Structure 1
Amino acid sequence: MRLVATGLLVLMAAVFLAARQFDHLHPAIGYVRAFSEAAMVGGLADWFAVTALFRHPLHLPIPHTAIIPRNKDRIADTLAAFLRDNFLTPGVVARRMQRLNVAAAAGRWLADPGEGRGRMRAGIGRLAADMLESLDQERLGGMAKRAVAGRLRALELAPLLGRALETAMREDRHRPLLDGIVRWAAKILEANEHLIRDMVHERAGSVLRWTGLDETLSKKIIAGLQKLIADMAEDPNHPLRAKAEEGLASFAYDLQHDPEKRARVEAFKNELLDNPALADWWLGIWESGRAALLRIARNPDALLTGEFGAAMRQLGETLQGDPRLAETINRFVRRAAVGAASDYGDGIVRLVSDTIRGWDAETVTGRLENAVGRDLQYIRVNGTLVGGLVGVTLHALDGVLG
């Protein structure tokens, strides 16, 4: 497309020279000359505008050219601030989470697992069998009936969760979590494309708005972000995924060593244990399911079709029908999401900013120019043709008015 745009400009120059030589032969040649002359002006002007975005035209240090390389760090900070202000602030996350009813969704799935029932049945069967083999019936029953609440209160969950996450990362069992985050990021970008367009339009100069390049740039920026997310989804070794893993590792460390986060987990645990609905549910489930668990642990097909399956369905119905328990769970999920945005949002923003700042000017220029692609050269082609049409129009008006 560069060759096409440049070739069209050269063609207009050749037509202009030829028309200038034979202008006296026929009045119509004057229109050809006017078209080619104005087309050269339009083509050269748009070539300068397009080139000035990414580099100095003809390598001359003309003021207000090479805009993107000169503003690389500002672009990085602006993009990072956009992500922070529109996606990662606690207020935005809280509003988004306010619409979600996690407890009801979990309750519906437990009440009717659907296609996942077979896999869930086999997994729970193996887990229950292993637990029952390691603990005798009397000890397990006594612990579950008389001391569960006391032991849970004495048990600090945060370090256990931190070590579990640390172990999962060490064994690469955290990948589904990252995949889910990437899918969530894709949906967030899709829902907020208009904000990117508005930001580019507001910050674009008058030349960019007149040529329509601001809309082209916004489309290509969105396409670039979509491609970045797609690359992260496809490439398990993507650098941004590595940074995300660093964040998870930091979170696992904080759960084990940060007193404030450990206190938050303990507060939620105690709040959940104090909920009367949870206590009533647990006692009823244990009394109805204790004997059945010992009989059907080695029969996965019967595990969820018998009393334990009824217990799980009862739990699902309780989550859907008990507003207090559902609100406790939903409140915890909201607080966890808002806390994550508050604690790690700035880290994600710095990741984006530092990554772009770490690129050299040539890399930033090349990636943005390739992302915008052929449309940049179409701007030159359109400028050449539109300039020619303007020239013909002015020539015709000159003839009429003259």
Structure 2
Amino acid sequence: MDKQAQLKTAKRQALLWLCGAAVIFVLVTTVQVLYPAYQNSFFAGLIKMAAEAALIGGLADWFAVTALFKPIPARYPIPHTNIVARNKKAIAENLSDFVKEKFFNPVAIESLIASSHPAKGAGRWLKQQQHADKLARYLCDTLAGFLHVFDDAPVKQFVMNAIRKGINKVDLGPLASGTLTVLTRDGRHQLILDKLLHKLAVMSQTPETQDVIAAKLYQWLKTEHRRLEKILPSQWLSEQGANAAVKALADILADIDEDASHPLRLAFDRQVAIFAEQLENDPVYLQKLDDFRQQLLENDTLQHYLHAVWSDVKTWLDKDLADGQGRSHKAIASALCEIGNAVDEDPALAASIDKHIAEAGRYMAPELSDFLTSHIRKTIEGWDEKDMAQQIELNIGKDLQKVRINGTIVGGLIGGVLYFIEQGIGLLG
């Protein structure tokens, strides 16, 4: 049964109670007129007064309920009728303020999040494979939609122009210098140097490296000292020279590796600092960075290559995202399951996530409440007064008809009590 039918049924029931009281009142009054012996009857008087009071109570409540939604009478209504339509603006203001104060204030939002433990619930939900698959499917469809949007020619051109403008606005000097400074902070670049030195030491001691050095020395003797090369054992000298060179190189690398204050390390520090300073302040380096940027942006070959790469990647992604068993779907679903397990099994992680969600909710609550309450207020103010009254009556009128029924019943009971009081006072006389 729809709301309109429910409202009609409720009105019919209330009307039947009111008509029942009216019929009883008319019947008893008629009996008393036709049969004077019943005029002083206790029970006839009780029933008549109860019916009369029930009729008055039912009519009064009918007027009160109907006056909320309709003008009475319709053509020339009396004051304090059609209350909902007359007070549309006040209703809009009060309802929006009530929603804002009771439902969307920061304390209520934070309390709701704290009591519901959203992270724990999300973890339990995500750890189930079917739920992870469902969310992964949604995310894949969303990503596919974004790909189609970016593939649109005007959108693609807009994005490319925005990227070019953004890159042109970036000050590369301070960016490069700052990046280098961060990378070398706390001697991080020395760790890279250590790795490089270790790699060189290992490579220098391999037979292949020694053979290369010996061959170079032998070639050098044959080229630069032809006469001596014919007299001396060139091959043996080359091999011995290679061994000596490798040993000397290994000793040097070991000295650098063991000495944190080695001159080579200090020189490396100075060069890195100088280079970072030049990147930020030297006009020559700044111009080189700017030229390099322009060459990248204006290089047709590079642009064509990037476009071809993007086209291939997009084609593969588009096909893979559409496949319910594709790599993207499986990877996302697996990651979601792992996240769900981690959150569900780690109370500290769940509590931390809940805390951050609560902070975000508290931060967003004022703006969100302003937006929603403003939307509620403007929507109600935009309604037609008659339609607004009909909609409100349709949603709460069914319950208000119970007020009419209760008014009829309670009025009858009060009438009966008053009759007993009247009779009691009469006995005193």
TM-score (norm: length of structure 2): 0.43
TM-score (norm: length of structure 1): 0.46
Structure with greater Cα Rg: 2
